[in-house]
Amino acid sequence: MTPTLAILFAMQAASPGAGVTVPAPPQKTPAEEELQRRSVAGDVVVTARRRSEQAQNVPIPISVVGVKELDNTGSFNIARLQQLQPTLQFYSTNPRNSSVNIRGLGAPLGLTNDGIEQGVGVYIDQVYLSRVAVATLDFLDVQQIETLRGPQGTLYGKNTVAGAINITSKAPSFTFDGRAEVSVGNLDFKQAKASISGPLTDNIAIRLGLTSTDRRGTIYNVASKSYVNSQDNLGLRTAILWRATDTLNLTLSGDYSRQDPNCCAQIFVRVGSTQRPLNRQYDALSRALNYAPPSRNAFDRLTDLDASLRAKNELGGVSLRGEAQLGSGTLTSVTAFRFWHWLPSNDRDFTGLPITTKSNNPTRQNQYTQEFRYAGEGKSFDYVLGAFGFYQDIHTTGVQQQGAAASRWLINPSSALASDPSVLDGLTANNDIRLKNFSGALFGKLNWKVGDRFTVSPGVRLNYDDKVGSYVSIVRDAQGNLVPYSGGTARQAAQRDAIQPQAFTDETYRAWNVSYDVTGSYKPSRDALLYATYAHSFKSGGLNLNGVPVVNGVVQTQLAQIAPEKVDHLELGAKTQFWDRRVTLNVTGFWTIIHDYQAVVNNSSTSTLRGYLANAGEVRVRGAEADFSIRPSERFNLYVNGAFTDGRYVDFKNAPCPPELSGGSTPTAANPTIGAPGQPGTNSPVVCDISGQWLPGISRVAFSYGGEYNLPAKVLGQDGEAYLGVDANTRSKFSSNASRSIYTDIGGYTLTNVRAGFRTDSGLNVFGWARNLFDAHYYEVLATTPGNTGLIAGNVGDPRTYGITIGKSF
């Protein structure tokens, strides 16, 4: 018997009425009851505070997207979901190198390191997912998605300094129901979704769901004569609900998702001049090797990457959730096991030249979680108490190998070694990265009603983290000879400049932390709520598992640990409804300060320009958000969600420099002058002070807006309604580099999506759709490339896509 079953049955045995052995007649599941409540005008039911409540009564800024909105807008993963929520940001160059941010916080843009954690928690059916790679997969049989903004550590199992994404799947039903949907479109797009649910016995119900998505790539590779950056997703889920007694429900769930596309290519965008000698910059190097990219216009969507591409991503697991009615509350236990397998193949020189022929980091991870929560209530208060345990085991076995063009590309042309391909050809680093990560926490939240209108809600969390990790990089030449950490021949020094060997093992990070928050909320009327929150939170510290600087052959292991981020957060908000709840207007203002922000830094004390993960001084994010919706009749609805966000480094004096201030010589006492930005052959600063600059990934202004209009109609004898819907999102310019660069700002853009169709009360829905209707040209991410050559690569956004969807519910 599992811990969940044993504990819950024991609690049941000790509770009044435990001797009753005949189960009560089947009742609606909690999910079915919530659906019934949501049919009331103006009601959206959420479980953000681990109990069912109307969203407008919860003093937390929440964006809620239901199954209807997900289907209508084609938001089948988080990348699409961000187009509906202006304060949600998702960036990905491949599933492993992905980040989910809220208000620009969560994880530094473009930074992937096994030794640190995300600041935005992703939860599916109350199970915490430690890898953001799940965000690239299709939503699977989802009922509702709640995005909570701001620190949520006193409510959720794993601390979440920026917010949480709470995904609720459709529950098994004791009434037979099902759904099937098929979509086809251009770019050979094919998507199928299906689910079915019903009773197996009077007290056992089951639900099965699957989804499959396939699409041709949007980039043509002239080298392989194939399209890349395709989609190839498969997902399966099942859940069994057992009403063990009239006060105990057990839900056993299992899921598996697989992604195996021809992906992921970052292609040529532009060249920006650096301070490197001119003969070592991209254009000169390309000419020396008689090379030219297939196009210098990224929106020709052409590349010639010569390394194989793969992004196989597998996730899955099982969970057992028990919910027992005990006394005046509910005891919930969630036991879960999850795995993640990542098998990539990349081209990390971003060209058609054999410079870096392999740069892959296949990873295997197992995760175990156990959470207990009790949600109770008294005469003038309610509360949640919880305990959470998390264990994670990660093993990454990376490889980097240089090719025949590496010597000419990477070694100074003034050296005779640059003309000898054998110096770097076949040079190989084999990396072994391991992490064992335990986290345990006790947390609680109290809502104390002081009179009829005012509520005070304090919360606290005690957290312990224990991480043990190692990083070993062994470098050999083509003949299998070890490259030493320091010394050796000139040939070995050149090899070491290309790939630095290093090793450290059994590095540890152990720490206790306390988080707390308090919210005061005032309800002047039935349809208005005012609230203020102060939160002191943290994001766990960790380990540098991408390597640290090596100075004179000595690995700087004192830099292997990263301190936790410390967060102070203030929020003021109002939730209001008017016109018999047909109009909703919610506004929020926030101010967040993070000390010891986890970022890539340079440290002049190491006499090296290699960046590594450490702590910046201070970061500040502040802004205001507004969510407006109106439904004057059953025929028309409109929404506008907007956000102004100002995110800046307040104190970051040892940051890596942008490309226009990189690549040159190191200043000396005899020649201390720093060259002008982008001036070839000049001195570059060892570090840059970027205090006051923008945080990456944040648009100062972002909007999502749209609406739908419908009319009664009859088609082929079927009564129903015809409808036209429009959804759009606009965002202003944002930085796509940790240190803002003149070469990596991404201009603002607007994406417009439309749909038109016919649906019936019997569950038939047929509609045509177009995404990015006006074929806007935009970049999702821009990135600097290794070597300070000035090459900027990037991910171009999807072109216009269109198709038709046919769905039937029963």
Q: Name the 3-class secondary structure at 290.
A: coil
Mean pLDDT of 239-249: 97
Model confidence at 4: pLDDT above 60:
no
Give tens-digit pLDDT for 409-433: 999 999 999 999 999 999 999 999 9
**659 burial class (0-12, 13-18, 19+ CB within 10 angstroms)?**
buried
Give the pLDDT of residue 107: 79
Mean pLDDT of 161-175: 92
Q: Name the 3-class secondary structure at 85.
A: coil
Model confidence at 330: pLDDT above 80:
yes
Model confidence at 286: pLDDT above 80:
yes
Mean pLDDT of 266-273: 97
Query: Cα-Cα-Cα-Cα dihedral of 278, 280, 285, 287, to 10°?
Result: 20
Q: How confident is the model at residue 484 (pLDDT cuts 50, 70, 90)?
A: very high
Mean pLDDT of 114-128: 87
Look at residues 689, 739, 680 and name the one whose alpha carbon lies nearest to residue 280.
Answer: 680
Whole-angstrom Cα distance, residue 731 to residue 734? 8
Domains, the chain, ordered by start: 26-423+453-774+789-794+803-809 (2.40.170.20)
- Considering only 64-68, 143-147, 326-330, which range has the smallest mean pLDDT? 64-68
CB 233 within 8 A of CB 257: yes
Q: Which helix (H) or strand (E) holds 691?
A: none
CB 558 within 8 A of CB 604: no
Q: Spell out the residues 6+ positions from residue 90 whose beta carbon is closer than 8 angstroms to its own.
A: 78, 79, 81, 82, 98, 99, 100, 101, 135
CA distances 219 to 106, 179, 224, 344, 630, Å, are 30, 34, 12, 18, 40
Structure-token match 């209001």, residue found: 576
DSSP states of 420-436: -GGGTTT-EEEEEEEEE
Q: Spell out the residues 6+ positions from residue 480 whose beta carbon is closer than 8 angstroms to its own.
A: none
Model confidence at 31: pLDDT above 90:
no
Triad 80, 350, 225: Cα angle to 5°: 80
Give the pLDDT of residue 100: 86
Whole-angstrom Cα distance, residue 391 to residue 370? 9
Mean pLDDT of 384-389: 95
Backbone angles phi, psi at 101, to 5 degrees: -120, 150
Q: Which residues of 610-648 are buried (b: 16+ CB within 10 A; e: fewer)?
A: bbbbbbbebbbbbbebbbebbbeeeeebbbbbbbbbebb
Model confidence at 594: pLDDT above 50:
yes
Give tens-digit pLDDT for 750-766: 999 999 999 999 999 99
Give the pLDDT of residue 12: 46
Give tens-digit pLDDT for 512-544: 999 999 999 999 999 999 999 999 999 999 898
pTM score, two decimals?
0.90
Strand partners, 729: 704, 751
Model confidence at 28: pLDDT above 50:
no
65-69, 113-117, 619-623 — which one is most confidently predicted on average? 619-623
CB 426 within 8 A of CB 402: yes
Mean pLDDT of 42-49: 74
Q: How confident is the model at residue 184 (pLDDT cuts 50, 70, 90)?
A: very high
Tell me the pLDDT of the chain averaged across its residues.
Answer: 89
3-state helix, strand, coil in the chain (%, to 5): 10, 55, 35
Give the pLDDT of residue 549: 78
Give tens-digit pLDDT for 576-585: 999 999 999 9
Model confidence at 444: pLDDT above 60:
yes
Give the pLDDT of residue 111: 61
- Considering only 122-131, 231-240, 288-297, 453-462, which range has the smallest mean pLDDT? 122-131
CA-only gyration radius of the chain, Å = 27
Mean pLDDT of 43-47: 80
Give the pLDDT of residue 640: 96
CB 581 within 8 A of CB 41: yes
Q: How confident is the model at residue 117 (pLDDT cuts 50, 70, 90)?
A: confident
Give the pLDDT of residue 362: 95
- Considering only 47-61, 250-264, 302-316, 639-653, which range has the smallest mean pLDDT? 47-61
Give the pLDDT of residue 611: 55
CB 655 within 8 A of CB 689: yes
Q: Is the pLDDT higher at 801 or at 87?
A: 801
Give the pLDDT of residue 560: 86
Q: Positive or negative, the Cα torsion across 296, 297, 300, 303?
A: positive
Give the pLDDT of residue 18: 37
Cβ neighbours of 127 (radius 10 Å): 23
**Pairing between strand 189-201 and 53-54?**
unpaired
CB 316 within 8 A of CB 322: no
Give the pLDDT of residue 557: 82
Model confidence at 78: pLDDT above 70:
yes
**Pairing between strand 219-221 and 226-228?**
antiparallel
Q: How confident is the model at residue 97 (pLDDT cuts 50, 70, 90)?
A: confident
Q: Positive or negative, the Cα torsion across 320, 321, 325, 329?
A: positive
Model confidence at 593: pLDDT above 90:
yes
Give the pLDDT of residue 601: 67
Give tens-digit pLDDT for 717-747: 899 999 999 999 999 999 998 899 999 999 9
Whole-angstrom Cα distance, residue 407 to residue 663? 17
Model confidence at 37: pLDDT above 60:
no
